């Protein structure tokens, strides 16, 4: 089975940096995804980590430590439009390849002026 | 930019009725998925589909659910006899590559199903 934990809610200030943590326990772990979801909308892909280390993509970076079962999403130069839920999702290997993702409950990020 | 589309955007049905939710995945994608999200809860995986057959399904995807790719463009989710607890947002997703290759899943806008 798979279990994913992330904080329910975080608040940050426009222009600042925020780090959203995610811990996971999964059998046959094979990658960690981060998605952004605005209220009432579909999740949109932000990042994918399969190896340990930091992946940087513009204002967003994602880090993975497989040995610790830990990931974080780092958002820099926060903008008001970054107010959304950030979903941590892990994939486990059931051998099929076309497998679904297991999502955490999401972290609701509130950006204040 | 290509996108996944879903119809209808909102479906209201009575308990016990059958519903079919429709999705058009991105045209060159080969892997298809259905997820659901009950209001205020997390996104939950239902089923994945590749090469005209189910690859994986979750415990939620019981005998009341079925999927089909009736032609080269559509991908449907059928719920045979809806229950109140089936009320949720249903997301279709597709990817060009399998998850094992880091295939990014693109989500459609969702169909909000309300069972009364």
Per-residue pLDDT tens for B15-65? 999 999 999 999 999 999 999 999 999 999 999 999 999 988 998 999 999
> Which residue in chain B has the smallest CA separation from A89?
B43
| pLDDT tens track for A13-65 | 999 999 999 999 877 788 899 999 999 899 999 999 989 999 999 999 999 99
The yes-or-no verdict on residue A97 having pLDDT over 50 is no
Question: How many Cα neighbours within 13 Å face the side chain of B55?
Answer: 22
Positive or negative, the CA dihedral B60, B61, B63, B65 is positive
pLDDT at site B1: 79
Distance from CA of B74 to the nearest CA of A (A): 18
**Which residues in chain B are closer than 8 Å to A101, comparing Cβ atoms?**
45, 99, 105
| pLDDT tens track for A70-90 | 999 999 999 999 999 999 998
pLDDT at site A94: 47
Place of tokens 């399998």: B98
Cβ–Cβ gap B99/A98 under 8 Å: yes
CA-wise closest residue to A102 among B63, B101, B35? B35
Positive or negative, the CA dihedral B75, B80, B86, B87 is positive
Which comes out higher in pLDDT, residue B11 or A101?
Answer: B11
Considering CB atoms only, which of B43, B48, B108 is closest to A98? B48
C-beta neighbour count of A29 within 10 angstroms: 17
Cβ–Cβ gap A101/B109 under 8 Å: no
The fraction of chain A above a pLDDT of 90, given in percent, is 77
Report, as an integer, the average pLDDT of B2-22. Answer: 96
Report, as an integer, the average pLDDT of B82-95. Answer: 96
Does A48 reach chain B within 8 Å, measured CB to CB? yes
Could you tell me the two tokens for A90?
């892990």
Contacts of B5 by beta carbon, 8 Å cutoff, 6+ apart: B23, B24, B108, B109
CA–CA distance, B83 with A91 (Å, rounded to integer): 29
> Which residue in chain B has the smallest CA separation from A1?
B58
C-beta neighbour count of A6 within 10 angstroms: 22
Report DSSP state, residue B93: E
Contacts of A22 by beta carbon, 8 Å cutoff, 6+ apart: A4, A5, A6, A32, A34, A70, A71, A72, A73, A88, A104
Distance from CA of A41 to the nearest CA of B (A): 6
pLDDT at site A77: 97
Cβ–Cβ gap A43/B98 under 8 Å: no
Considering CB atoms only, which of A87, A89, A98 is closest to B55? A98
Please return the burial class of B27, using the count of CB atoms within 10 Å of its CB with bins 0-12, 13-18 and 19+: exposed
Estimate the share of chain A in helix, then strand, then coil, as percent rounded to the nearest 5.
Answer: 5, 60, 40
């Amino acid at each position: 089975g798979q279990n994913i934990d992330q904080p329910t809610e975080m608040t940050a200030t426009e222009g600042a940096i925020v780090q959203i943590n995610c811990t996971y326990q999964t059998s046959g772990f094979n990658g960690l995804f981060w998605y952004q979801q605005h209220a009432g909308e579909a999740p949109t892909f932000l990042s994918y980590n399969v190896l340990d280390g930091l992946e940087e993509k513009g204002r967003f970076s994602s880090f993975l430590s497989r040995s610790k079962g830990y990931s974080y999403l780092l958002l820099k130069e926060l903008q008001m439009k970054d107010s959304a839920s950030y979903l941590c999702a892990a994939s486990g290997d059931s051998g099929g390849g076309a497998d679904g993702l297991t999502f955490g409950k999401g972290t609701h990020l509130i950006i204040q002026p | 930019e290509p996108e996944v589309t879903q119809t209808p955007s909102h479906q209201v049905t009575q308990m016990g009725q059958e519903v079919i939710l429709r999705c058009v995945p991105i045209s060159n994608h080969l892997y298809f998925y259905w997820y659901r999200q009950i209001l205020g809860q997390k996104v939950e995986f239902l089923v994945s589909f590749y090469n005209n057959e189910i690859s994986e399904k979750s415990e939620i995807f019981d005998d009341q659910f079925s999927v089909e790719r009736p032609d080269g463009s559509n991908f449907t989710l059928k719920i045979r006899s809806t229950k109140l607890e089936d009320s949720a947002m249903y997301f279709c997703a597709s990817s060009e590559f399998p998850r094992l290759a880091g295939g990014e899943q693109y989500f459609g806008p969702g169909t909000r199903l309300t069972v009364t």
